[in-house]
């Protein structure tokens, strides 16, 4: 290829990878639904988006390293404290039974469906045992199931990828060394590969401890050190044994996320951005290697295989995995309806198919197109049906907002009552015994544990909380907590404003989303409430009464939008306004406007 063709190919690949994800975000659908056909169309219609031509022999190793980065990031999001009891048992069974039943089923049916020898059927079956966080994560974000279901599926998807990659490599080498016959599974090779991956993960964790804890690198250099460590360790392990870098990457991520002392933030903007870019590039590039000519002979048989995997194999695996556990039937059913294939299946199929075809194994050229169609089929089916299935089964988290109100002053409790009357599931927390007693007497659920202990643990998440409102009487606490909690909440964190010209240590100089603007600082709200002003609800279709100011908008769909200095109220039909009324006139007892 000429230099111009290479530049054009790189530009188109990046444009498709990013543009597809932007389009999917606008359409509110999982990005894979757009990425896969975009890459396939680019490969079919142009000669520029061809990773084999653009990268040559470097394509397969780069894919392995890129997947290792994805799995390291996935490992950073796995908290071992949540993998216990019934959850742990279900995850382990899903992995073991999923591998055995998926591989066994494909091994039985693939020879008759695709006309391939048992050796190729064995390879296809092992490639298809994996799922992965790259597909499970976006689908779960789209569906928003209950916390336990999300944990089980994310743990399964993150752990099965490296295990499946190792199993695929062992089967591949067994086939090659057995003269491209069915061969026997080499348990010793599998154990040796696991040992290499675990050792690589330990080395990676030690390097990360040295760079992050001993050298105490800052955010920028620390992030670069993590990236370099993952690439070096994964590449070194893959040089020793194929695909062991995946094990090393996720072990390193799990160690960093769960070993005390690392203090990794719950949100990692650089890694999140990098992983999203890598996912897009990988799916576009791998999809571009699949030709329409290779899909035609296997299209109908693969549809039959997809139906078998979705309607029989996965439900059976989920049912057996949940036996004698406390997992409710509806959650078992949803887990049985969520097993999309992802990037590890695509990357291993690309590598193994090319190598076995070159080695002369009959039917090996069908491994990649079959895998591609299974990925497309499972992603499409689950993406289009997972949300209605989850809704029908009742495993979706409530769509209505669940704000956490921090503070126990009388006006805060009164505000909580008003938000509860608007239909929101309000959670509260306060530090003082008197405030906690006031909250309990009002009938509100207290957030468990010490809030700052939870907030100070970067591994912790305030699960189920959609937003935090910091309303205590300590402005410095509100300012500092808004910074700490930002990475631990799946939603916005707001704080009540400090007094104008206040002398606090932190509050007057800290950014962040301040509620209601400078007009309603904390002492103003306290004074008006003490003077008799009360919160009230009113349909957005009616104009606010004189002297009333809008503080929140509760949407018809249950969302909660506070009014801030930079975002005034934007209410629509069916929304409800949370107003602060005027204080009663001390002379007439009326409700005329009064300024505090």
- pLDDT tens digit sequence for 232-288: 999 999 898 877 888 899 889 888 888 877 766 555 667 778 888 998 999 899 899
Q: Is the pLDDT of residue 458 over 90?
A: no
First to last CA, the chain: 74
- Higher-confidence position of 583 and 327: 327
DSSP helix/strand/coil, 132: coil
- Torsion over CA: 528, 529, 531, 534 (sign): positive
Residue-level pLDDT at 450: 56
User: How confident is the prediction for the chain on average, in pLDDT?
Assistant: 83
Per-residue pLDDT of 200-238, as tens digits, reads: 999 999 999 998 888 888 778 888 899 999 999 999 998
How long a stretch of residues is the chain? Answer: 596
Tokens 């609800």, residue located: 537
Residues 193 and 318: their CA atoms lie apart, in Å, by 28
Query: Which residues are within 8 A (CB) of 445 and not within 5 positions of it... i.e. 6 or more apart?
Result: 426, 427, 428
Alpha-carbon distance 373 to 363, whole Å?
A: 16
pLDDT band at 166 (very low <50, low <70, confident <90, very high): confident
SS (H, E, C) 59-81: HHHHHHHHHHHHHHHHHHCCCHH
What is the DSSP track for 540-584? TTSPPPTT-EEEEEE-TTS-EEE-BSSS-----TT-EEEEEPPPP
Q: CA-CA distance, 69 to 209, in Å (whole number)?
A: 18
Gap between the Cα atoms of 189 and 210, Å rounded: 32
Counting Cα atoms < 13 Å in the Cβ hemisphere of 305 gives 31
CB atoms under 10 Å from CB of 391, counted, come to 12
Selected residue with higher pLDDT from 219 and 179: 219
Cα–Cα dist 187/193, whole Å? 10
Residues whose CB falls within 8 Å of the CB of residue 3, separated by 6 or more in sequence, listed in order:
none
Lowest mean pLDDT among 414-423, 467-476, 556-565, 567-576: 567-576
Q: What is the pLDDT of residue 316?
A: 96
CA distance 198 to 207: 14
Sheet holding 535-539, edge to edge: 535-539, 576-580, 549-554, 560-562
CA distance 446 to 267: 26
Q: Give the pLDDT band (50/70/90) at residue 502.
A: low
Dihedral of CA atoms 496, 499, 501, 503 in degrees, nearest 10, equals -90
Give how far Cα 286 sits from Cα of 37, 249, 277, 339, Å.
11, 21, 14, 20
The answer to whether 137 and 78 have CB atoms below 8 angstroms apart is no
pLDDT at 76: 82
Closest CA to 103 of 177, 182, 41: 182
Q: How far apart are CA 131 and CA 70, in angstroms?
A: 13
SS3 content of the chain, % helix, strand, coil (to 5): 60, 5, 30
pLDDT band at 448 (very low <50, low <70, confident <90, very high): low
Residues 69 and 279: beta-carbon distance below 8 Å:
no
Residue 306 to residue 316: CA distance in whole angstroms: 15
pLDDT score of 246: 85
User: Is the CB of residue 86 less than 8 Å from the CB of residue 327?
Assistant: yes
Which residues are CB-contacts of 302 (< 8 A; sequence separation ≥ 6)? Answer: 113, 369, 370, 373, 374, 377
pLDDT at residue 410, rounded to an integer: 93
**Both tokens of residue 87?**
């959850």
The CA angle 411-504-526, to the nearest 5 degrees, is 15
Coil/strand/helix, residue 294: helix
**34-67 pLDDT, tens digit each:** 998 999 999 999 888 889 888 888 888 998 899 8
Grade residue 596 by pLDDT with cuts at 50, 70 and 90.
very low
**How many C-beta atoms surround the C-beta of residue 574 within 10 A?**
11
Q: What letter does residue 115 receive in the DSSP assignment?
A: -
Residue 452 has pLDDT above 60, yes or no: no
Is it the case that residue 297 has pLDDT exceeding 90? Answer: yes
CA-CA distance, 383 to 143, in Å (whole number)? 9
Res. 325: pLDDT tops 90: no
pLDDT of residue 543: 81
Tell me what percent of the residues of the chain surpass a pLDDT of 90.
29
């Amino acid at each position: 290829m000429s230099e111009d063709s290479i530049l054009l190919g790189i530009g188109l690949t990046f444009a498709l990878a990013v543009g597809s994800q932007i389009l999917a975000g606008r359409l509110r659908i999982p990005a894979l639904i757009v990425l896969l056909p975009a890459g396939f169309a680019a490969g079919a219609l142009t000669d520029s988006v061809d990773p084999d031509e653009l990268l040559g022999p470097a394509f397969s190793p780069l894919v392995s390293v890129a997947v290792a980065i994805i799995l390291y990031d996935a490992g950073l999001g796995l908290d071992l404290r949540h993998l216990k009891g019934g959850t742990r048992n279900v995850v382990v069974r899903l992995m073991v039974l999923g591998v055995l039943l998926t591989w066994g089923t494909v091994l039985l049916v693939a020879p008759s469906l695709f006309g391939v020898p048992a050796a190729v059927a064995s390879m296809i079956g092992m490639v298809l045992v994996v799922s992965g966080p790259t597909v499970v994560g976006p689908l779960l974000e789209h569906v928003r199931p209950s916390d336990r279901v999300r944990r089980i599926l994310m743990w399964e998807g993150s752990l099965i990828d490296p295990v499946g990659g190792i199993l695929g490599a062992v089967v591949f080498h067994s086939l090659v060394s057995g003269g491209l016959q069915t061969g026997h599974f080499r348990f010793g090779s599998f154990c040796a590969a696991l040992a290499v991956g675990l050792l690589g993960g330990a080395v990676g964790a030690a390097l990360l401890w040295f760079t992050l804890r001993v050298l105490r690198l800052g955010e920028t250099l620390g992030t670069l050190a993590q990236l370099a460590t993952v690439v070096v360790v994964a590449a070194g392990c893959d040089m020793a044994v194929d695909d062991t870098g995946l094990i090393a990457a996720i072990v390193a991520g799990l160690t960093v996320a769960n070993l005390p002392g690392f203090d990794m933030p719950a949100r990692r903007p650089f890694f999140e951005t990098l992983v999203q870019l890598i996912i897009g590039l990988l799916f576009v590039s791998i999809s571009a290697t699949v030709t329409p000519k290779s899909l035609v002979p296997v299209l109908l048989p693969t549809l039959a295989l997809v139906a078998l995997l979705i309607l029989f194999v996965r439900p059976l695996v989920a049912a057996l995995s949940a036996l004698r556990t406390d997992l409710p039937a509806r959650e078992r059913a949803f887990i049985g309806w969520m097993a999309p294939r992802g990037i590890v299946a695509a990357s291993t199929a690309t590598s193994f198919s090319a190598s076995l075809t070159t080695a002369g194994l009959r039917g090996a050229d069908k491994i990649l197109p079959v895998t591609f169609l299974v990925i497309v089929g499972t992603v499409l089916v689950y993406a289009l049906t997972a949300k209605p299935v989850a809704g029908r089964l009742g495993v979706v988290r409530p769509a209505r907002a669940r704000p956490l109100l921090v503070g126990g002053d009388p006006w805060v409790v009164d505000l909580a009552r008003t938000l509860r009357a608007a239909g929101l599931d309000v959670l509260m927390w306060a530090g003082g015994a008197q405030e906690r007693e006031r909250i309990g007497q009002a009938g509100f659920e207290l957030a468990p544990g010490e809030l700052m202990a939870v907030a100070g643990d970067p591994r912790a998440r305030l699960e189920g909380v959609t937003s935090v409102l910091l309303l205590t009487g300590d402005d410095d606490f509100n300012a500092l907590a808004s910074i700490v909690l930002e990475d631990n909440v799946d939603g916005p964190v707001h704080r009540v404003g400090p007094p104008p010209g206040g002398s606090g240590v932190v509050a007057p100089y800290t950014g962040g989303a301040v509620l209601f603007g400078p007009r309603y600082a904390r002492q103003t709200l306290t004074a008006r409430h003490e003077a008799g002003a009360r919160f009230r609800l009113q349909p957005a279709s009616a104009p606010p009464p004189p002297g009333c100011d809008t503080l929140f908008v509760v949407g018809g769909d249950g969302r909660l939008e506070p009014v801030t200095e930079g975002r005034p109220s934007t209410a629509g039909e069916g929304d409800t306004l949370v107003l602060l009324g005027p204080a009663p006139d001390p002379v007439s007892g009326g409700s005329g406007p009064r300024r505090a």
